[in-house]
Chains A and B, each alone.
Chain A
Amino acid sequence: MSVTAQPAAIASAAGTPPVSREEPAWVRRTLLAIAFAFLILILFVPLAAVFTEALRKGIGPYFNALLEPATLSAIRLTLLTAAIVVPLNAVFGLSSAWLITHFEFRGRNLLLTLIDLPFAVSPVISGLIYVVLLGSHSVLGGWLAEHGVRIIFAVPGIVLATLFVTFPFVARELIPLMQEQGSEDESAAVTLGANGWQTFWRVTLPRVKWALLYGLILCNARAIGEFGAVSVVSGHIRGLTNTMPLHVEILYNEYDFVGAFAVASLLAMFALATIGAKSLIEWRLRRESSLAVEVQRVEQAV
């Protein structure tokens, strides 16, 4: 009973014959055509339009538009925000997912609900909450202003608002996975003498790393693309508190179409890169789980 599943055996076991469906060919073709037409109309045409508009006056004006000082500053601010928000959400997301899946405590369900809150409320409302809480007319904001700390209409406000709207991505990705994995591996590590830190780095983190990365990519995409919440707290100070999405709007309203679409094309390229990375990770995640399933199937068959 020494089963050694060779990769070839796995592949052949995986290659089950396709299930034959008794749908007429024209039904399948029509459905496919509708789906593709819809995709082209809704997704591809707008995407193509962004690049066409950006390059309407040629490659020179395109790069000139991107090298505008205000545009460069918007790009810098957006990257800075993402660079602060993504690591923080990695820590928050990991710790809240860990808390929820490994402990029974009062308020556990409340915490689960709160994690979903940013998805449930409109981003504009999220921004307004910060203005109300920390604006110069509020008690806390007034006190902070007296001590020379500006949050609303400044970079800290933008970071806070972005942090809020991107909070659920990592936690939501990790909770189901950690729930499924249970805590037996951690118990095993502890009985083998590992301390909490070693257990986390050697056992817990490697097990969830792909899901974590997946959550971080989604979180990053949203951090870069967030408009509503940031718009409320930013104050739109050109060169100071403008992020890329806000800058696109300003340029567009000023009839600088090449400038607006040039920045938009950067965001679009970033979105494409995100989708690429996402499907790569999805493929990895699927491969790992299907490999395990296949090995089990081969084992049972032998």
Chain B
Amino acid sequence: MNIALENVTKTFGTFRALQDVCLDVKDGELLALLGPSGSGKTTLLRIIAGLDVPDHDGKSVIRFDGKQVDWSAAQQRLVGFVFQHYALFRTMTVFENIAFGLRVGPREMRGSEADIRKKVNDLLSLIQLESMADRYPSQLSGGQRQRVALARALAIEPKILLLDEPFGALDAKVRQGLRRWLRRLHDEIHVTSVLVTHDQEEALEVADRVVIMNAGRVEQAGTPEEVFHSPASAFVMDFLGNVNLFHARMDGDAVRPASADGASAAEGEAAGKAARILVRPHDLDISVVENGASVLRARVLRIQTAGSMVKVEVVGDSGENVVVEIPHERFRSLGIARDDLVFVSLKDSSLFVEDYSI
């Protein structure tokens, strides 16, 4: 089922949680809503589910498959919702939790006890917890609880599955396993899914498309490749991974160091336009001799070799902290050590230049 949101605005008191959000979720895709906390992503999810209503400003429209659902109650929307803290019914067994949605529907829609039993058992085998049917939620681990919550949401055969930070409360290892499992599950059942997360790695790994939100607005929507490699704003670039921020001058298309060559403010006009540059650590390089591409003269502060890349932290002449990631071979050939003087240069790939004027 396809979801279309038009001009959704939501205000809590004086706080504007969502501002004219427009969003399309295609049938069968897994879309991630990514943003820092307070960016409105959970509110948006609750509005899709019908647990919250958008402001009555006459502009907002929510459509499922073209049909407007603004006024239909959460019970009627057939939307599966998975909560961050599982929200399992602690007074019921795993079996009864999953069966809940099958027992409360309109009487004529409810199956027989045998149908319910079969369906719940199928779901239990889908989440690989057949042996846990009679346990209570308090007797399960976090990962198991989240799988039960997912099975409970799937039991009503929802046309849309909404997941609110589903792995947020789990430790890193379980989280990784579960999200791969979720991706495989989605490839099997193809239910239109929206996943809310503040973890960029999770969004980029799992989703077909990523929507990045900030302060109640959509900053950018696109495939993981698009948003990662061509961010539409400094915010997106910053949010999708570590970035370095330093000041430099733009001389046409070329970047010149702002301070290393001693260009004073008076000479600024001649030396080019002031700019704020955002670059990912792996898009920078280090050399021991100054060359034409150098943008920063700096001193090595720390070297961290544990990991797939060597992380070199340097401090520029005017005090800016910059992190550079270089391959191990490159590091060995450089032979640099703490307190050495180095020059940082840009590789050709993506950087984000902001207009910057005081």
Which residues from chain A sit less than 8 Å from chain B, CB to CB?
1-5, 184-185, 187-195, 198, 202-203, 206-207, 291-292, 295, 299
CB pair B49 A291 closer than 8 Å: no
CB pair A202 B104 closer than 8 Å: yes
In the complex, how many angstroms separate the beta carbon of B163 from the nearest chain A beta carbon? 12
CB pair A192 B152 closer than 8 Å: yes
CB pair B87 A184 closer than 8 Å: yes
From B50, B79, B100, B144, contact of A189 by CB (8 A): B100
If A184-B83, A207-B91 touch, does A299 touch B141 (CB 8 Å cutoff)? yes
> A residues within 8 A CB of B75?
190-191, 193-195
* B352 is an interface residue with CB less than 8 A from chain A: no
From B81, B90, B105, B138, contact of A187 by CB (8 A): B81
For chain B, residues 96 to 151, give those with C-beta under 8 angstroms from any C-beta of chain A: 100-101, 104-105, 138-139, 141-144, 149
Which range contains the number of B residues in contact with the other chain?
A: 35 or more
If A187-B83, A207-B90 touch, does A193 touch B105 (CB 8 Å cutoff)? yes
CB pair B104 A189 closer than 8 Å: yes
Q: How far is the CA of A193 from the CA of B50 in the complex (A)?
A: 12
In the complex, how many angstroms separate the beta carbon of A59 from the nearest chain B beta carbon? 47
* B85 is an interface residue with CB less than 8 A from chain A: yes
CB pair A194 B104 closer than 8 Å: yes
CB pair B143 A184 closer than 8 Å: no
Please name the residue on chain B nearest to A197 by beta carbon: B104
From B74, B104, B142, contact of A198 by CB (8 A): B104
> B residues within 8 A CB of A190?
51, 74-75
> B residues within 8 A CB of A189?
89, 100, 104
CB pair A192 B104 closer than 8 Å: yes
From B49, B83, B101, B143, contact of A193 by CB (8 A): B101
CB pair A184 B74 closer than 8 Å: no
> B residues within 8 A CB of A185?
87-89
> A residues within 8 A CB of B149?
188
Closest 3 CB pairs of A and B: A192-B101, A206-B91, A184-B87
> A residues within 8 A CB of B144?
2
For chain B, residues 13 to 71, give those with C-beta under 8 angstroms from any C-beta of chain A: 49-51
